[in-house]
Amino acid sequence: KQEVTQIPAALSVPEGENLVLNCSFTDSAIYNLQWFRQDPGKGLTSLLLIQSSQREQTSGRLNASLDKSSGRSTLYIAASQPGDSATYLCAVPHMYSGGGADGLTFGKGTHLIIQP
């Protein structure tokens, strides 16, 4: 059964720092990996989706990498701002024995605080 782990569980850094959030998964047979942001009491906003054939995806100050063989992904946030404070979640599709996929398996998230 796929397990997704995110380290660290919480992180607090001063504004302006570059930072890296880590995600690991136990089964490398994935279609893609998705990073989400969740603000307190709110739903999830998709940030980046990396297909299994890709190594990186970038959106503004965010860069996500994927190393399928080692079961790892990182989310790099450049020049962090207080507005980046949120919980960041990574997720991979469930795979089932027929070779298809359905819902997502999530990590428990990294709670990020950017201090002004």
User: For binding to another protein (CB under 8 A), which residues are involved?
Assistant: 31-32, 34, 36, 41-46, 49, 51, 89, 91, 93-94, 100-109
59, 65 contact by CB (below 8 A) = no
CB of 61 to another protein, least distance (A): 19
Closest to another protein by CB, 68 or 94: 94
How many other β-carbons are positioned within 10 Å of the β-carbon of residue 2? 16
Q: Sheet harboring 19-25: ordered strands across? A: 4-7, 19-25, 72-77, 62-67, 56-59
CB of 43 to another protein, least distance (A): 4
CB of 44 to another protein, least distance (A): 4
What type of residue sits at position 65?
S
Closest to another protein by CB, 49 or 62: 49
